[in-house]
Amino acid sequence: MLWVTPSLGDTHDVEARHKVEATPCAGATLGQRLEEESRFHSRRDLGWRFFPGEGYMDAERALRVSKSMEIRYRWRVDAAGKVEALTDSARELCP
C-alpha cells in the first residue's frame, strides 16, 4: 500500500485510523481505550489528525485536559498495516 498526501476525507487517513482503533490493547482495543480516556468529565476530545510520510501514515488523537495542557496519542501505521506507538502517552495507554 502506498501512502499519499491525504486530502479532506481521503481513504488513507480513514484506513490508518481504523488500523489504530482495531489494535488490541489491554483486553480491549485502542479505540475502546481512547473512548474511555475521552469520557473523563474534565477532558475534551480534539479529534484525529493525520501526517503522511514516505511509506507510512502517522495518526494522532488529542484530548484537552486543561486550558493549557493536551494529551497527544500518536501511532505510526506502515504500508504493511503494522501499528507502532510513537508517544509515551500512546505506549502508556496499553500497559
pLDDT tens figures, 17-58: 999 999 999 899 999 999 988 887 788 889 999 999 999 999
How far the first Cα of the chain sits from its last, in Å, is 30
| Per-residue pLDDT band at 94 (split at 50, 70, 90) | confident
Whether 70 is covered by a domain: the verdict is yes
Whether 2 is covered by a domain: the verdict is no
Q: Residue 72: what residue type?
A: R
Task: Output the pLDDT for position 10.
Answer: 61
71 touches 85 (CB < 8 A) = no
Whether 47 is covered by a domain: the verdict is yes
Any idea what DSSP says for residue 33?
Answer: H
Helix crossing, 11-22 with 30-38: angle to 10°?
90
Helix extents (H) in 5-95: 11-22, 30-38, 88-93
Task: Output the pLDDT for position 2.
Answer: 41
Task: Output the pLDDT for position 38.
Answer: 86
Split into its structural domains, the chain has a count of: 1
Range of the structural domain that residue 54 is part of: 11-93
